[in-house]
Chains A and B, each alone.
Chain A
Amino acid sequence: MNQPAEREFIELEAPLSGDFQAVVRLIIGGIAERVDFAFEEIDDLQLAVERLLAEAGQVGSVSLSFEIVEDGIRARVGPLSTSAIAEALADGDGRPGVLTLRRILQTVVDSFGVETVDDGRVVVRLVKRKGIA
């Protein structure tokens, strides 16, 4: 389909309320469709964002940005509460066997990272590449 020739960037702010999760998913689907992601890859990226937002709670809003790059999509989600995300992204040593957000992200995206922003909260970066299982 459309091969992005230049940097393409989409940014939105959405309420954290569960009512809008389907809208966020739909937008992610629309963006991923533009770069010809497979059904499964779209589902993975949607799941990653959905699980992050679930950890962020139901109050306030969150910024989401998506940059279309040559081989996929780079997403940024945040700022999010540091305590909620830090615990969820811990490697689970303290809770053996529990399926952590870290494990989920490791499975569904190609890479992810956390950066602290001005007010001490964090932004989670996700990279999902096309054509990598």
Chain B
Amino acid sequence: MNVPQRRNDVSGEKAREEDRELLRRYHDRGDMTAREELIERHLPLVRSLARRYAGRGEALEDIEQVGAIGLIKAIDRFELAREVSLATYATPNVVGEIKRHFRDKGWAIRVPRALQELNASMSGAIERLTARLGRSPSIGEIAEELKTSPEEVLEAMEVGSAYSTVSLSTGPGGEEDLDPLETIGGEDEGFERSEQRAALEPALDRLPPREREILRMRFEEGLPQTQIAQRVGLSQMHVSRLIRKSLQVMREELLRIPPGAAG
């Protein structure tokens, strides 16, 4: 049996060749399936780079989503004449996108700690109440559960939904104590079905598979957040935030896509 080191070299070389073939199919023939495959193949790179920026007041999954935009830009802009591998070319694009995101959102980190903590505990409270009541709870009910005022709950909601300053792995109790990365790997495979459907949608195409699937469930199937949350194994708050961010990203991307480039 050969030593693993040799095997890694070969598979690296092979992977680069496969990348180039996929890039050719995408750039020369407009094969969107090849583009999809390239995105999938390099998402682990995005996750690995995103992890470097974890713990800076931004949810890891959000950083990954931003990084994925950088990856997609790299795939779209890659010139086949280049001698570099896609991974090499994509890395500064992904990191650049993440850094730009932090620069743009940097001011948000000044959110008071008490609100951050309230936000972190809110998600668990909403899940408990939803299970107990069999419906989405009101703000008053959430406030009662957390022994605070409705106004503070509303403020804490903003901390999470608008600025994403709370890392999802820091909350006390509830499912969000899980490392988001633990759930991502398994889910992506399950979303292959919807990727094909999404191939026609130029802006949707810019999103990671899970976000696309969430949007599809919300706006195509018309499922409420509570049900989507159950299906994808995330909290309602997290689903809400992903929907909001995805729509924002899509709109920004849509504005950048030149007319006629969607096919």
Measured CB to CB, the residues of A under 8 A from B are 1, 21-22, 25-26, 29-30, 32-33, 36-43, 46-47, 50-51, 54, 95-99, 103-104, 107, 133
Contact = CB atoms under 8 A, between A and B. Distances in A.
Interface of B: 126, 135-140, 142, 150-151, 154-155, 157-158, 161-163, 198, 200-204, 215, 218-219, 222, 224-226, 236, 240, 243-244, 247-248, 250-251, 254, 262
A88 to B, nearest CB: 9
Given A26-B154, A30-B151, A107-B222, A38 B203 contact: no
Given A39-B139, A97-B200, A99-B203, A21 B154 contact: no
Nearest to A104: B219
Nearest to A133: B224
B247 A104 contact: yes
A99 B243 CA distance: 12
B225 A21 contact: no
A29 B200 contact: no
User: Majority SS of interface residues in chain B?
Assistant: helix
A99 B219 contact: yes
Nearest to B240: A43
A43 B225 contact: yes
Given A22-B158, A33-B154, A38 B136 contact: yes
Contacts of A1: 138, 140
Contacts of B158: 22, 25-26, 29
A37 B222 CA distance: 19
Given A30-B154, A38-B137, A40-B225, A47 B244 contact: yes
B248 A98 contact: no
A51 B225 CA distance: 17
A21 B135 CA distance: 28
Nearest to A38: B136
B202 A103 contact: no
Nearest to B251: A54
Contacts of A25: 158, 161-162
A112 to B, nearest CB: 15
B142 A98 contact: no
A60 B49 CA distance: 39
Contacts of A133: 224
Nearest to A2: B140
B122 to A, nearest CB: 9
Given A38-B137, A98-B202, 13 more contacts: A25-B158, A25-B161, A36-B138, A38-B135, A39-B137, A39-B138, A39-B236, A40-B225, A42-B139, A46-B161, A54-B248, A97-B200, A98-B201
